[in-house]
């Protein structure tokens, strides 16, 4: 029977001990690493949640400010970007900052206004939208045919019927895509839905987005939300009549009219503006963008606010892209 020399036995014992220590060290390092990752993840989640709570606080502040603006102006008051509600605000909060601003949505073209209560397109509004598309500052500006196709495709996307507009798009154009889908045939909830509509590209949408909105229909049949001429963008003002440019309407951008009649008195050719495009100087709808930065976490929230007299309600809230 052979035996292992004492020296060799001692060497094996040392190697075994080193191996055990090495394995224990690896396990300990891995445990510490997992614990550190878990703590960091938990900390980030807590900071993110805290940032979102600050976002909601910013929303409450905006609602209060809009209600106060109504009470200050009175029922027949106008809304302009010279007022306090239109000024961006920034607050220092615990371990971070809260920033936010409001945008008047009635200073934009309401895409849902393309369709009347009867589910049919409003011709004059559709023509205004085509003019707006032609005014977009694109690398290659749209021609009449392309703008008409986009306008009709947008109408088809919203209207409840399946009949195709003159150069529009219905089920056939969408069910053949990968993946296939169908048009909504309902009011737009977000302007970003345009990216799913036939003919729109990322470039076209990026140029159009600052000038459009998607508002729910008014509660009264046969009415449309008025366009606030005081806060309307340059391209929206230029789209009121044919053959106008952003330069032509520059004197009327960021106005301070107390009455739409005063605006029409000053605006050249205003007698040609269709009554189907109602003008006003006050607003009910505002979009709040608020960003909270807490430590390494950042949260941006978009809230669509409706003001009815001095009551302000949140109608849509999202933490995704608006």
Q: Which band of pLDDT confidence, cut at 50, 70 and 90, is reported for residue 93?
A: confident
Instruction: Indicate whether 4 pLDDT > 60.
Output: no
Q: Centre a 10 Å sphere on the Cβ of residue 18 and count the other Cβ atoms it contains.
A: 10
Q: What's the average model confidence in pLDDT over 203-211? A: 98
Element (H, E) at 238: helix 234-238
Query: How many residues are present in the chain?
Result: 322
Please report which confidence band the pLDDT of residue 243 belongs to, taking 50, 70 and 90 as the band edges.
Answer: very high
pLDDT given at position 26: 79
Rounded-to-integer distance, Cα 95 and Cα 147, Å: 49
Distance from C-alpha of 164 to C-alpha of 150, rounded to nearest angstrom? 13
- pLDDT category of residue 321 using cuts at 50, 70 and 90: low
**Cβ neighbourhood burial of 208 (10 Å; 0-12, 13-18, 19+):** buried
Beta pairing partners, 102: 288
The stretch 225-247 carries a mean pLDDT of 96
Tell me what the mean pLDDT of segment 134-142 comes to. Answer: 96
* Dihedral class, residue 116 (left if φ above 0, else alpha if ψ from -120 to 50, else beta): beta
Confidence of residue 22 (pLDDT cuts 50, 70, 90): confident
Say whether pLDDT at 2 is over 90.
no
Please report, rounded to a whole number, the percentage of residues in the chain having pLDDT higher than 70: 92
pLDDT of 13 reads: 75
Q: Is the pLDDT of residue 43 over 90?
A: no
Average pLDDT (71-77) is 77
What's the count of helices (H) and strands (E) in the chain, helices before strands? 7, 9
pLDDT over threshold 70, residue 66: yes
Most confident of 8-22, 71-85, 249-263: 249-263
* Burial of residue 9, with CB atoms counted within 10 A of its CB: 0-12 exposed, 13-18 middle, 19 or more buried: exposed
pLDDT at 10: 67
Average pLDDT (70-90) is: 88
DSSP state letters, 37-78: HHHHHHHHHHHHHHHHHHHHHHHHHHHHHHHHHHHHH-TT--
| pLDDT in the model for residue 276 | 93
Q: How far apart are CA 18 and CA 214, in angstroms?
A: 69
Does residue 6 surpass a pLDDT of 70?
no
pLDDT at 299 over 80: yes
Beta strand 212-213 with 109-110 is parallel
Better-predicted residue by pLDDT, 306 or 118: 306
pLDDT of residue 247: 96
Model pLDDT, residue 5: 61
Which span out of 48-52, 221-225, 250-254 was modeled with the highest average pLDDT? 250-254
Rounded to two decimals, the pTM is: 0.84
pLDDT of residue 210: 97
Contact 227, 238 (CB under 8 A): no
What one-character DSSP code corresponds to residue 143? P
Alpha carbons 49 and 30: distance in angstroms, whole number:
28
Q: Are strands 212-213 and 227-228 parallel, antiparallel or unpaired?
A: unpaired
Residue 7, pLDDT > 70, answer no
Tell me the backbone φ, ψ of residue 154, rounded to 5 degrees: -70, -40
Asked whether 238 and 249 are in contact (CB, 8 A), the reply is: yes
């Amino acid at each position: 029977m052979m035996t292992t020399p004492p020296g060799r036995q001692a060497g094996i014992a040392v190697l075994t001990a080193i191996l055990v220590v090495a394995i224990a060290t690896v396990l300990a390092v891995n445990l510490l690493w997992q614990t550190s990752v878990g703590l960091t993840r938990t900390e980030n989640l807590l900071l993110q949640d805290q940032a979102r709570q600050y976002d909601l606080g910013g929303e409450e502040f905006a609602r209060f400010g809009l209600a106060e603006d109504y009470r200050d102006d009175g029922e027949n008051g106008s809304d302009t970007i010279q007022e306090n509600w239109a000024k961006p605000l920034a607050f220092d909060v615990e371990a971070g900052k809260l920033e936010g601003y409001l945008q008047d949505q009635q200073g934009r073209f309401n895409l849902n206004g393309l369709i009347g209560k009867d589910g049919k397109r409003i011709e004059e509004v559709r023509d205004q939208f085509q003019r707006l598309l032609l005014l977009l500052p694109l690398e290659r500006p749209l021609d009449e045919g392309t703008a008409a196709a986009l306008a009709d495709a947008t109408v088809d996307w919203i209207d409840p019927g399946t009949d195709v507009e003159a150069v529009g798009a219905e089920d056939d154009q969408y069910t053949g895509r990968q993946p296939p889908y169908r048009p909504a045939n309902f009011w737009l909830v977000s302007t970003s839905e345009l990216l799913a509509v036939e003919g729109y590209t990322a470039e076209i949408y990026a140029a159009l987005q600052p000038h459009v909105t998607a508002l729910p229909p008014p509660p009264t049949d046969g009415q449309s939300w008025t366009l606030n001429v005081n806060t309307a963008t340059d391209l929206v003002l230029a789209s009121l009549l044919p053959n106008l440019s952003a330069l032509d309407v520059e004197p009327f951008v960021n106005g301070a009219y107390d009455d739409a009649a005063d605006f029409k008195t000053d605006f050249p050719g205003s007698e040609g503006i269709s009554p189907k495009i109602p003008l006003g100087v006050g607003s009910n709808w505002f979009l709040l963008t608020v960003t909270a930065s807490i430590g390494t976490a950042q949260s941006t929230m978009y809230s669509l606010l409706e003001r009815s007299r001095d009551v302000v309600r949140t109608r849509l809230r999202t933490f995704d892209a608006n």
